[in-house]
């Protein structure tokens, strides 16, 4: 860093004040100005008296005008005239309190005129003022916390404030670990505080170059302290140059796949270049096997944590292996691998041969279809089931057979490599499971068979491999009552079941169904009953009601302009119709939903899935189910047509409207109005379409082309 001389004069917010006995600055200025006046008067008096004393009695001889006399050294007027500008500047410096400048100017005056009375009178007072004067210096650094020393004063961390600093030039030194030091000259010439806020410290740095043979080695650069890892600085591949590193101790780790890792400790110094290099030696292997085509897996034997990698299949040449010990493993089909540890020498290639002594092994089971495992490895190319054959090397084995219905069996066998009939018999692995059979029939046939929650098929059904023990089977068929059969199966035995299923067209709780009108009825768990998937259509209403009161007539549109009484009569007619068909569950009837039940049906239906005029003006209602259903499977719960519910508009309804965040209409209470829910196709305000909003109408009102209804099937 270069040295700079800094002089900053700022308005003093808190000027330094010394001991209480110090003379104020204005007093010093008056004293020095008075001395200047006295010195000037004394100089004038001295010059006048000297002129009188030296005056000649007779006039000197007249000198021609063209002749001039050079000034003599004794002439007092020349030095005084040359010093006049400096004296004026010195007086100005005194008036502004710039004592150092005033002292310098008066000293220059004395060099011109050693006996100058102004200088002789002022310099002692200025020296006394300078001896007493003190200033304040504040030092801010980026980053903060640097150690700051000013002259001989005590060192402080930044931000540092030095008070009582003598006037004059001082050396400022700033230092911080890991950064270049800064040195400056600071001139204190005033009691006004000096604020040094522009000191930015530059980090000290060095660099490391990492190289390897061959290139491309992976490296990690770690900062250490006392040889203990402290911080991961950088990762990469060689060659690499890492610059702007903080001075200190570092560890460099380098590795090439398959080679032992290498590490070096280096020290980085400021503005110094350090290099680290590593050489990874190589050798080669030629591998053959009998049979050929074995997979070759290799890993370093000098690093226990190294996972083996697949290098290829035999015959195989590996020309660029790291010098050192390696674990070689050959794997072939389902055979026991051959493992060997070899040492690769740098610059040479070795030939290695591997061979298995093997025999043909037969795997059979009763019943067939079992999977066979050796340890956790499935034999038969991972897909064959008994019976199958494969070659295995000679040795002792423990096999495990797993049948999907009968569990597992273990068998131990020594596989010999001797040829001939004896070897053929000895290399036979047979698994016998304990099992029996089960036959199931039903009238009518086609019933679904389930056991332990697992579907097995449809009748007639024969299960050829069933483990011994107690077994139970559930038989079910649509529109029929379910049946359960069970029995004890002995090893090698057989069970036969014949079941007759009773016809029963009534719907089953918790399952959706179609009623006699072909209408989808959706099971609603929260109500323990069913709700119509759609609003009642005009075709359905006309079939049971005999007429169609709708203003907008279309068979697949919801019926509209229907009174509350007509909706109730339709529910009664539908109940009688379903009962006659035998499709009405015992203890259930069709009716209008209550206000609370309708709140359960709406679920999470959003307005963007409703037929309304909120986003686009509609001309009429739409076919039922024209938009997506809600999460319960119900269509048009909001929009299309408003739906009658069974409740009167009462104080209870008033409280529910308030609870749901909508605005109630207290004038409807006690006016014999029935509640309408869900909004309609012709509504364009969110207020009218809100879930919590309830509309109301006289139950006899029939001219409402925006009113329809939906049925529910609930316990009577």
- Residue scoring higher pLDDT (514 or 42): 514
% of the chain at pLDDT higher than 90: 50
Whether 71 has a pLDDT exceeding 60, the answer reads no
pLDDT mean over 304-329: 86
Which domain-ending residue is among 222, 254, 279?
Answer: 279
585 is a domain residue? yes
Q: In what order do the strands lie in the sheet with 448-451?
A: 454-458, 448-451, 469-476, 483-489
Q: Is 64 contained in some domain?
A: no
Q: Are β-strands 147-150 and 134-142 bridged in parallel, bridged antiparallel, or unpaired?
A: unpaired
Span 659-672, pLDDT tens digits? 998 989 999 998 88
Specify if 533 maps to a domain.
Answer: yes
Residue 268's φ and ψ, nearest 5 degrees, are -95, 130
CA distance 122 to 83: 14
- Across the chain, which distance is largest between two alpha carbons, in Å? 174
Exposure string of 354-365, with b = 16+ CB inside 10 Å and e = fewer, is bebebbebebbb
341: CATH? 2.60.40.10
Position with higher pLDDT, 19 vs 591: 591
**Range 626-633 average pLDDT:** 94
Query: Pick from 436, 620, 598, 609: which is nearest to 527 by CA?
Result: 598
Same structural domain, 239 and 350: no
Structure tokens at 567: 């909706």
∠ CA 119-124-126, nearest 5°, is 85
Nearest-angstrom CA–CA distance, 648 and 662: 18
Query: What tokens appear for 700 in the block?
Result: 């006899």
The 8-class DSSP code of residue 711 comes to -
Q: What is the mean pLDDT of residues 644-648?
A: 96
Residue 686 shares a structural domain with residue 549: yes
The answer on 650 and 584 residing in a single domain is yes
Q: Is residue 677 helix, strand or coil?
A: strand
Residues 39 and 127 in one domain: yes
Distant-in-sequence, close-in-space partners of 476: CB < 8 Å, separation ≥ 6: 447, 448, 450, 482, 483, 501
Burial 3-16 (b: 16+ CB within 10 A, else e): eeeeeeeeeeeeeb
Of 493, 447, 496, 500, which is closest to residue 474 (Cα–Cα)?
447
Residue 314 has pLDDT above 90, yes or no: yes
Q: How far apart are CA 291 and CA 304, in angstroms?
A: 30
Both 539 and 635 in one domain: the answer is yes
Please check whether residue 191 lies inside any domain of the structure.
yes
pLDDT over 60 at 79, yes or no: no
Query: For residue 419, is pLDDT > 60?
Result: no
Asked whether residue 534 is assigned to any structural domain, the reply reads yes
pLDDT at 81: 59
The region of weakest confidence among 389-398, 614-623, 686-695 is 389-398
User: What does the alpha-carbon distance between residue 276 and residue 210 come to, in Å, rounded to a whole number?
Assistant: 5
Tens-digit pLDDT profile for residues 191-242: 789 999 889 988 778 889 999 888 899 999 999 988 889 899 999 999 999 9
Task: Give ∠ CA 684-685-687 in degrees, rounded to 5.
Answer: 145
Do 19 and 158 share a domain, yes or no?
yes
User: Residue 491: what are its φ and ψ, rounded to 5°?
Assistant: -55, 130
Chain centre distance of CA 714: 50
Tens digits of residue pLDDT in 455-488: 999 999 999 999 999 999 999 887 788 899 999 9
* pLDDT score, position 49: 43
Helix (H, G, I), strand (E, B) or coil at 687: helix
User: Is residue 506 one of the residues assigned to a domain?
Assistant: no
Q: Considering the entire predicted model, what is its pTM? A: 0.38
Domain termination residue (choose one: 203, 227, 259)? 203
**Does residue 247 register a pLDDT over 60?**
yes
According to DSSP, residue 492 is labeled T
Give the pLDDT of residue 48: 41
Q: What is the CATH number of the domain that holds 572?
A: 3.90.1580.10
Q: How many domains does the chain have?
A: 6
CA distance 585 to 714: 9
**pLDDT class of 40 with cuts at 50, 70, 90:** low
pLDDT beyond 70 at 647:
yes
Question: 425 and 412 share a domain?
Answer: yes
Query: What's CA 137's distance to the chain center, in Å?
Result: 48
Closest CA to 156 of 142, 166, 144, 168: 144
Pair (706, 605) in one structural domain:
yes
| 684 within a domain of the structure (yes/no) | yes
Rounded to an integer, the average pLDDT of 129-146 is: 87
pLDDT of residue 87: 87
Residue 20 has pLDDT above 80, yes or no: no
Domain that holds residue 328: 282-355
User: Within this chain, do residues 423 and 480 fall inside the same structural domain, yes or no?
Assistant: no
Which pLDDT does position 24 carry in this prediction?
Answer: 59
Question: Is 107 found in the same domain as 27?
Answer: yes
- 32 pLDDT tier (thresholds 50, 70, 90): low
How much is the pLDDT for 243?
86
The Cβ of residue 254 has, within 10 Å, a number of other Cβ atoms equal to: 22
Q: Are strands 273-279 and 483-489 parallel, antiparallel or unpaired?
A: unpaired
- Residue 68 vs residue 282, higher pLDDT: 282
Q: Residue 502, exposed/middle/buried by CB under 10 A (0-12, 13-18, 19+)?
A: exposed
Render pLDDT for 164-183 as a digit per residue (tens, 0 to 9): 888 888 999 999 887 888 99
Judge whether 558 lies within some domain: yes
pLDDT tens-digit map of 550-589: 999 999 999 999 999 999 999 999 999 999 888 888 889 9
Please report the pLDDT score of residue 13 as a whole number: 38
The span from the CA of 36 to the CA of 442, in Å, is 137
Q: Identify the bridge partners of residue 472 per DSSP, sorted by sequence position.
A: 486
Out of 355, 390, 411, a domain closes at 355
Query: Which pLDDT score, from 0 to 100, does residue 500 have?
Result: 92
Assess whether pLDDT exceeds 50 at residue 54.
no
Span of 192-196, 318-322, 338-342, 467-471 with lowest mean pLDDT: 318-322
What does the alpha-carbon distance between residue 691 and residue 678 come to, in Å, rounded to a whole number? 6
Confidence of residue 102 (pLDDT cuts 50, 70, 90): confident
* In the predicted structure, residue 273 carries a pLDDT above the cut 90: no
Statement to judge: residues 576 and 708 lie in one domain: yes
Q: Residue 304's pLDDT band (boundaries 50, 70, 90)?
A: low
Residues 565 and 711 in one domain: yes
Mean pLDDT within 123-138: 84
Return the half-sphere exposure (C-beta side, CA atoms, 13 A cut-off) of residue 388.
Answer: 18
């Amino acid at each position: 860093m270069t040295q700079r001389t800094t002089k900053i004069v700022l308005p003093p917010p808190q000027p330094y004040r010394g001991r209480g006995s110090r003379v104020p600055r204005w007093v010093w200025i008056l004293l020095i100005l008075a001395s200047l006046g006295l010195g000037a008067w004394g100089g004038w008096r001295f010059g006048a008296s000297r002129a009188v004393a030296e005056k000649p009695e007779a006039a000197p001889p007249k000198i021609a005008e063209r002749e001039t006399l050079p000034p003599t050294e004794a002439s007092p007027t020349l030095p005084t005239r040359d010093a006049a500008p400096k004296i004026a500047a010195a007086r100005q410096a005194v008036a502004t309190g710039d004592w150092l400048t005033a002292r310098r100017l008066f000293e220059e005056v004395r060099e011109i005129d050693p006996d100058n009375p102004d200088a002789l009178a002022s310099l002692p007072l200025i020296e006394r003022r300078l001896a007493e004067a003190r200033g304040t210096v504040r030092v801010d650094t980026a980053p903060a916390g640097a150690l700051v020393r000013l002259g001989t004063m005590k060192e402080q961390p930044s931000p540092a404030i030095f008070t009582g600093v003598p006037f004059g030039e001082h050396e400022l030194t700033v230092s911080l670990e890991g950064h270049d030091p800064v040195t400056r000259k600071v001139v204190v010439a005033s009691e006004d505080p000096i604020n040094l806020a522009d000191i930015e410290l530059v980090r000290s740095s060095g660099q490391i170059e990492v190289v390897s043979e061959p290139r491309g080695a992976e490296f990690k650069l770690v900062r250490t302290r006392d040889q203990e890892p402290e911080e991961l600085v950088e990762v990469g591949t060689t060659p690499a140059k890492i610059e702007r590193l903080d001075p200190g101790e570092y560890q460099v780790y380098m590795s090439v796949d398959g080679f032992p890792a290498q590490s070096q400790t280096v020290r980085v110094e400021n503005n110094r270049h350090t290099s680290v290099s590593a050489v990874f030696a190589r050798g080669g292997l030629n591998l053959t096997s009998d049979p050929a085509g074995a997979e070759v897996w290799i890993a370093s034997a000098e690093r226990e944590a190294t996972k083996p990698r697949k290098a290829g299949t035999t015959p195989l040449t590996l020309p660029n292996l790291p010098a050192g010990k390696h674990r070689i493993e050959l794997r072939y089909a389902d055979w026991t691998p051959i493992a060997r540890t070899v040492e690769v020498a740098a610059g040479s290639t070795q030939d290695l041969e591997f061979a298995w002594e093997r025999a043909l092994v037969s795997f059979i089971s009763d019943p067939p279809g079992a999977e066979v495992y050796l340890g956790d490895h499935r034999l038969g190319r991972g897909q064959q089931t008994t019976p199958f054959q494969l070659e295995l090397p000679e040795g002792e084995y423990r096999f495990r057979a797993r049948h999907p219905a009968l569990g597992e069996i273990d068998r131990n066998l020594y596989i010999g490599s001797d040829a001939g009939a004896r070897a053929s018999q000895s290399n036979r692995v047979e698994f016998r499971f304990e099992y029996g059979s089960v036959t199931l029939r039903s009238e009518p046939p086609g019933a679904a068979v389930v056991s332990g929650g697992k579907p097995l098929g449809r009748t007639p059904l024969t299960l050829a491999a069933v483990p011994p023990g107690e077994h139970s089977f559930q038989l079910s068929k649509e529109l029929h009552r379910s049946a359960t059969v069970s029995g004890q199966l002995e090893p090698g035995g057989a069970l036969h079941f014949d079941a007759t299923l009773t016809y029963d067209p009534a719907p089953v709780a918790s399952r959706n169904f179609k009623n006699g009108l072909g209408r989808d009825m959706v099971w609603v768990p929260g109500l323990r009953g069913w709700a119509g998937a759609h609003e009642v259509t005009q075709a359905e209403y006309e079939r049971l009601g005999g007429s169609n009161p709708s203003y907008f007539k279309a068979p697949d549109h919801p019926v509209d302009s229907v009174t509350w009484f007509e909706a109730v009569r339709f529910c009664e007619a539908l109940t009688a119709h379903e009962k006659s068909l035998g499709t009405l569950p015992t203890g259930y009837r069709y009716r209008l939903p209550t206000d609370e039940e309708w709140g359960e049906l709406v679920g999470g239906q959003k307005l963007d899935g409703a037929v309304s005029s909120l986003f686009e003006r509609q001309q009429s209602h739409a076919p039922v189910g024209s938009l997506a259903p809600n999460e319960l499977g119900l269509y048009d719960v909001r929009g299309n047509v408003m739906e009658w519910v069974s409740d009167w508009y009462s104080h209870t309804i008033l409280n529910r409207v308030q609870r749901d965040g909508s605005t109630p209409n207290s004038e409807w209470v006690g006016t014999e109005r029935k509640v309408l829910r869900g909004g309609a196709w012709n509504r364009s305000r969110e207020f009218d379409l809100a879930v919590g909003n309830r509309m109301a109408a006289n139950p006899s009102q029939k001219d409402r082309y925006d009113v329809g209804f939906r049925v529910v099937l609930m316990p009577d």
